[in-house]
Amino acid sequence: MIKKILLPALVLLTAAFTAKEPQPLYKNKNAPVESRVQDLLRRMTLQEKVLQLSQSYAGNNNNENNKDENIKAIPDGIGSLIYFGSDPVFRNKIQKKAVESSRLGIPIIFGYDVIHGYRTLYPVAIAQACSFNTDLAARAAAVAAKESKLSGIDWTFSPMIDVARDPRWGRVMEGYGEDPYTNARFAVASVQGYQGNRLSDPYSIAACLKHYVGYGLSEGGRDYHYADVSPQSLWETYMPPYLAGVKAGAATIMSGFNDISGIPASANHYTLTEVLKNRWGFKGFVVSDWGSVEQLMNQGVAASRAEAGQKALMAGVDMDMTDRVYQENLAQLVTDKKVPLSRVDDAVKSILRIKFQLGLFEHPYTTVLPESERYLQPEGKAVAGQLAEESMVLLKNLNQTLPVKNTIKQIALIGPMANNREDITGSWSAQGRSKDAETIMEGLQYEFGSNTHFNYAKGADFDGTDESGFKEAVAAAQASDVIILCLGEKRAWTGENTSRSVIELPAIQEKLAETLKATGKPLVLVLNNGRPLGLAKLEPLADAIVEMWQPGLAGGTPLAGILSGRINPNGKLAITFPFTTGQIPIYYDMRQSARPNSGLYQDIPTTPLYWFGYGLSYTTYQYSNIKLSAPGITKNQKLIAEVEVSNTGNMAGKETVLWYITDPAASISRPLKELKYFEKKQIEAGKKSIYHFEIDPMRDLSFPDAGGHLHLEAGEFYLYAGSQKIKFSLK
Ligand code: BGC
């Protein structure tokens, strides 16, 4: 009898010891992502879930001896780290701990601000927008993705697609300017560039649309400030780039620091959950901005860190960037029933989903290659150079001062930017090194060769009152036939937390220009900056002006090519240059005024110095024969527009046609004009090209109301391309 009972028990016991536990479903790479997510979630403890929702950082110290200390300090099971290092070995070591020593082996997702390149820096975003070449921007993002991936980065906090109309705000350099449509196009291009065809491709990284939403509107251009925006304007202007980025498949989105009319962006249930997740069906995850959960207390909507965490999570913020609010409070909030577990689970699922899609469970480690194979590869540098070339904008060219005549053999090269390797790269330069950057002087010397002599003098610094260098600068000018004066902003003058009360360059730079002008020599002004500048004083002093922006590491050669005439400039401004600071706000798609010719400033011109879309070329283009496939359409039809552009000059060039639509009467007043499409093409000298635009009524003629619902109203519309204008109707 005893034997009868013992035997089966013994068999069972032996089986339990010998049978291997089957591989958990979540580890099966062939199982559908959603099943893997569900399987993993059901195995997780509350504490493990909370850690998945938390982001910390690593690698910011370069002391070899402390690196292990640093690893120990990272909480076991953390969901994400911002990785400030660039060493894949160190990154893999941290990852190994997560994958091999944590209970469930969930890999960490490593993020970083790869804004305009990782090591191969290309032009800052505002410059890229002026290229109106989204293919190039996508290729540059792909270069950045590859360099990042090879350094252990799975996720970039880019693109920034905050429509920005106040150049006092230092972050204008990070975005694509004042126009919603341009921001939307570049959002799509960057997402495609970073993420490639599939997130799991070897060189794809996850993109992050930021800073959702309205951050570009921070009052008075003061960073981190309140953004007062009507619901209709929010939909009209600030939401469209985000919708485009979400549709393009962006894996993540960052909630902003700003307060949107009283409800901070990081506690905003309407924008984050009702719109982004429910209406738009966003399936990735929302990360807060650095400390923006904790800051809800500063913004006056939370009395404690716990309350801040509760508000952010319930609004829709899935991952908490660095302030440890979730880490320290969420478990208790769940226990106290202030946060339902189902919301925690949703947030965890959204993060796990991206980790599975990135292939992190199968390939948690970065391939380790020598730096020489990771960075600064020729094809990447070529893209950076091409993008820099197409970003530069010729703003003035009196009497064909440019290109510099090849008979000129003495050129004065003056100014704080002329021989500057630091500031040319721009803010947010990730792992870029100034030593990799080409200076203006190097570009010019290479371009013009040894037959041309450059008389260099710095003349003055960016700021301050020291005029002691003026004398040398004047002598250099006097010894030359033309002056190339390189002025601008230090790179730390734009980027985060770099608001400025005036957008004019410091007086010392203006005074240097005045002093040089007095020599009577032709003056070419080259500008290196991250925001539109107030040029009311400088513009009249210059015979020619080239806006080179902050081109990254490959700007010297393209600038030199423009100055020599090897390259025909083709950038157009993606942001208006106000006449003076006091003219802000001014942007091309303003709403209509009750008295369009009155109510204007009495002391300055009524128009800005340069409007959005402005940019000169060494050739001339003539726009003609604008046509439509029909004089009118119904709401379900499409209208094909075309315009002929002839290159009537002597040099081949690239011309971007900007198609605008005006709706003169609607139930909600429309902007004066709205950009609806752009296309850039090469046109040989003496040749013409036909540009097309297919008007889709719902996409191009509708407008949102305060709830974001689109209205399509019958009526008359105008279409513009260059000097051409044509009327059509919608029935
Ligand atoms: C910035 C973000 C950035 C984050 C992480 C914040 O201060 O606003 O744009 O992605 O820091 O570095």
- Tens digit of each residue's pLDDT (9 = 90 or more) over 236-275: 999 999 999 999 999 999 999 999 999 999 999 999 999 9
Residue 62 neighbours by CB under 8 Å, 6+ apart: 85
Mean pLDDT throughout 649-662?
A: 98
Q: How far apart are CA 123 and CA 555, in angstroms?
A: 8
Q: How far apart are CA 635 and CA 651, in angstroms?
A: 42
Q: How far apart are CA 692 and CA 644, in angstroms?
A: 9
Under the banding of pLDDT at 50, 70 and 90, the label for residue 17 is very low
Mean pLDDT throughout 277-286?
A: 98
Assess whether pLDDT exceeds 70 at residue 452: yes
The closest alpha carbon to 374, from 65, 219, 151, 173, belongs to 151
Q: How far apart are CA 66 and CA 85, in angstroms?
A: 13
DSSP structure string for 637-679 = --EEEEEEEEE-SSS-EEEEEEEEEE-SS-SSPPBS-EEEEEE
Q: Which two tokens stand for residue 395?
A: 């703003």
Q: How many helices (H) and strands (E) does the chain have?
A: 20, 26
Ligand 1 atom having least distance to the Cα of 210: 9
Ligand 1 atom having least distance to the Cα of 111: 5
Quick check: is 481 catalytic? no
Is 33 exposed, middle or buried (CB count within 10 Å of its CB: 0-12, 13-18, 19+)?
middle
Mean pLDDT throughout 410-437?
A: 98
How would you label 281-298 residue by residue, b for 16+ Cβ within 10 Å and e otherwise? ebebbbbbbbbbbbbbee
Q: How far apart are CA 728 and CA 731, in angstroms?
A: 10
Nearest CA to ligand 1 atom 4: 290
Angle at 226 between CA 225 and CA 228, to 5 degrees: 145
Q: How far apart are CA 469 and CA 482, in angstroms?
A: 19
| Paired sense of beta strands 252-255 and 285-287, if any | parallel
Q: Which of 179, 289, 318, 589 is catalytic?
A: 289
Q: How far apart are CA 373 and CA 364, in angstroms?
A: 21
DSSP structure string for 301-330 = S-SSHHHHHHHHHHHT--BEESS-HHHHHH
Residue 69, CA distances (Å) to 73, 75, 324 in order: 6, 12, 19
**What pLDDT is attached to residue 59?**
75
Q: Backbone phi, then psi, for 529, in 5-degree steps?
A: -160, 165
Q: Which two tokens stand for residue 720?
A: 């513009």
Question: Taking a C-beta distance cutoff of 8 angstroms, is the pair 414, 486 a contact?
Answer: yes
Q: How far is the CA of 359 from the centre of ligand 1 (A)?
A: 25
Q: Backbone phi, then psi, for 405, in 5-degree steps?
A: -60, 140
Mean pLDDT throughout 625-654?
A: 98
Q: Which two tokens stand for residue 311?
A: 């508000």
Residue 606's CB is within 10 A of a number of other CB atoms, namely 13
Question: For a pocket test of ligand 1, which of 289, 295, 323, 494 has the largest count of ligand atoms closer than 8 A to its C-beta?
Answer: 289
Residue 516's CB is within 10 A of a number of other CB atoms, namely 27
Question: Taking a C-beta distance cutoff of 8 angstroms, is the pair 200, 151 a contact?
Answer: no
Residue 186, CA distances (Å) to 127, 291, 407 in order: 12, 27, 41
Question: Taking a C-beta distance cutoff of 8 angstroms, is the pair 128, 122 a contact?
Answer: yes
Is 91 exposed, middle or buried (CB count within 10 Å of its CB: 0-12, 13-18, 19+)?
buried
**What pLDDT is attached to residue 186?**
99
| Tens of pLDDT, residues 668-723 | 999 999 999 999 999 999 999 999 999 999 999 999 999 999 999 999 999 999 99
Assess whether pLDDT exceeds 60 at residue 8: no
| Tens of pLDDT, residues 563-608 | 999 999 999 999 999 999 999 999 999 999 999 989 899 999 999 9
| Tens of pLDDT, residues 154-190 | 999 999 999 999 999 999 999 999 999 999 999 999 9
| Paired sense of beta strands 263-264 and 259-260, if any | antiparallel
Whole-angstrom Cα Rg for the chain = 28
Q: How far is the CA of 44 from the centre of ligand 1 (A)?
A: 30
**What pLDDT is attached to residue 2?**
43
Q: How far is the CA of 383 from the centre of ligand 1 (A)?
A: 26
Under the banding of pLDDT at 50, 70 and 90, the label for residue 18 is very low
SS3 of 236, please?
Answer: helix
Assess whether pLDDT exceeds 50 at residue 419: yes
Q: How far is the CA of 321 from the centre of ligand 1 (A)?
A: 9
**What pLDDT is attached to residue 76?**
87
Nearest CA to ligand 1 atom 11: 290
SS3 of 725, please?
Answer: strand
| Tens of pLDDT, residues 318-344 | 999 999 999 999 999 999 999 999 999
Q: How far apart are CA 602 and CA 9, in angstroms?
A: 98
Ligand 1 atom having least distance to the Cα of 157: 10
Q: pLDDT > 70: what percent of the chain?
A: 95
**Mean per-residue pLDDT of the chain:** 95
| Tens of pLDDT, residues 393-403 | 999 999 999 99
Ligand 1 atom having least distance to the Cα of 208: 10
The closest alpha carbon to 116, from 380, 354, 441, belongs to 380
CA 672 from chain centre, in angstroms, equals 26
Stretch (H or E) spanning 327: helix 325-335
Q: How far is the CA of 575 from the centre of ligand 1 (A)?
A: 23
Residue 392 neighbours by CB under 8 Å, 6+ apart: 127, 130, 546, 547, 548, 549, 551, 558, 559, 562, 569, 571
Question: Taking a C-beta distance cutoff of 8 angstroms, is the pair 166, 215 a contact?
Answer: no
Assess whether pLDDT exceeds 80 at residue 64: no
Assess whether pLDDT exceeds 70 at residue 19: no
Nearest CA to ligand 1 atom 2: 289
**What pLDDT is attached to residue 60?**
65
Ligand 1 atom having least distance to the Cα of 257: 8
Nearest CA to ligand 1 atom 8: 289
**What pLDDT is attached to residue 71?**
64
Mean pLDDT throughout 647-671?
A: 98
Mean pLDDT throughout 146-151?
A: 98
Is the backbone peptide bond immediately before 213 cis, with ω within 30 degrees of 0? Answer: yes
Q: Which two tokens stand for residue 700?
A: 């191009």
**What pLDDT is attached to residue 14?**
42
Ligand 1, CB cutoff 6 Å, lining residues: 113, 157, 210, 289-290, 496
Q: How far is the CA of 188 from the centre of ligand 1 (A)?
A: 21
